[in-house]
Amino acid sequence: MAKPVSIEVWNPNGKYRVVSTKSMPGTRWINLLIEQDCRLEICTEKKTILSVEDIIALIGDKCDGVIGQLTEDWGETLFAALSKAGGKAFSNMAVGYNNVDVNAANKYGVAVGNTPGVLTETTAELAASLSLAAARRIVEADEFMRAGLYDGWLPHLFVGNLLKGQTVGVIGAGRIGSAYARMMVEGFKMNLIYFDLYQSTRLEKFVTAYGQFLKANGEQPVTWKRASSMSEVLQEADVISLHPVLDKTTYHLINKESLATMKKEAILINCSRGPVVDEVALVEHLKQNPMFRVGLDVFEDEPYMKPGLGEMKNAIVVPHIASASKWTREGMATLAALNVLGKIKGYPVWHDPNRVEPFLNENAPPPAASPSIVNAKALGLPVSKL
């Protein structure tokens, strides 16, 4: 028998039992559930990552839906347990769902939700922050000051890279990649080279218009170029930010061979998926090229780093915080809760998961729909006409 798990209960007499495997930011998501007659149980265990056994204990004998986290292993075992308890809804509080076996969910008729449409700007902002911090060696300089080593200005002290006039490279010009590109082009007057399977016409028009604005004001115009391959971006850009999907074509996209083609003083940023980068090869490259710098928000074997990475002064490492702005995390919690609630109440699926503003408006009731169900088609769920 599974060991009992400590919980916090809201609306104990609610008709529908919903479990959240973690406490989540904000209170709106809680209120939305209890207002719709849900008994909400929030796990309060002092563990960063719950085991499958922990989650089975949370699910119990009767459970209508679960809000979970991307650190959890949602496969055959958990979906079988949820289905046995009468549950038909699960949502990650994340846009990604690499931790979810969608085929297993389909087998047991469980809808799988995620939370796109709310992370674009905040993730792009972190990528831009890491770019600037790496270029100007801010983390190194901060550690230097705190260690009491500063005894006066020196000409060579923490000399970094000027971004203005350099080339920013983007691999994957979707919503996040394009938002990052616009920030770097307009904020630092960088030229753009990007690779994507699909032409980003809106991004190209943005850079063209900004270049014309600069030229009209007597400044050097910025330019854009759509690369024919990812390797072309790696070879030509001064700052490269990775925003691809993770599949067999992008696994270890950054490896020993591709690192060797990059500029010696290039900056590499990854806020996408950890396995896009071969960390062992990256550590070796950082050792051999002290002016090559990297900013990482995700890791190959998260939450662990490959040996040596944490000791590298030319690496900035942060703990998967790309979505960690208050507005975004509260929005993710709201969307995850509404995914589960929508399936419980028999609502249709929202027609466009990337246009979720109506669900985030705190001054009006959310639409009667699930914001984003990734296996809606497989389950034959109806789509909202709203």
What are the residue numbers of the active site?
273, 302, 320
Kindly state the tokens that stand for 181. 């590109």
The dihedral sign for the CA sequence 19, 23, 24, 25: positive
Q: Which residues pair with 7 in a beta bridge?
A: 43
Q: Are the C-beta atoms of residues 276 and 253 closer than 8 Å to each other?
A: yes
- Mapped onto helix, strand or coil, the DSSP state of residue 16 is strand
Spatial separation of the C-alpha atoms in residues 73 and 92, rounded to whole Å: 11
Q: What is the mean pLDDT of residues 138-150?
A: 97
Element (H, E) at 357: helix 357-360
Spatial separation of the C-alpha atoms in residues 328 and 95, rounded to whole Å: 12
120-135 and 138-146 are packed helices; what angle lies between their axes, rounded to 10 degrees? 60
Write down the pTM of the prediction. 0.90
Task: Give the model's confidence band at 2: pLDDT under 50 very low, under 70 low, under 90 confident, else very high.
Answer: low
Residue 4: the pLDDT is: 73
Judged against a pLDDT cut of 70, whether residue 1 lies above it is answered with: no
pLDDT digits (tens, 9 = 90+) for 50-69: 999 999 999 999 999 999 99
From the CB of residue 162, how many other CB atoms can be counted at a distance below 10 Å?
Answer: 10
**C-alpha torsion angle, residues 326, 330, 336, 340 (rounded to 10):** 170
Task: Give the model's confidence band at 3: pLDDT under 50 very low, under 70 low, under 90 confident, else very high.
Answer: low
Q: Which amino acid is at 341?
A: L
Helix, strand, coil: what percent of the chain each, to 5? 35, 15, 45
Element (H, E) at 118: none
pLDDT digits (tens, 9 = 90+) for 186-220: 999 999 999 999 999 999 999 999 999 999 999 99
Q: Which residues pair with 322 in a beta bridge?
A: none
Element (H, E) at 90: strand 89-92
The dihedral sign for the CA sequence 256, 259, 260, 265: negative
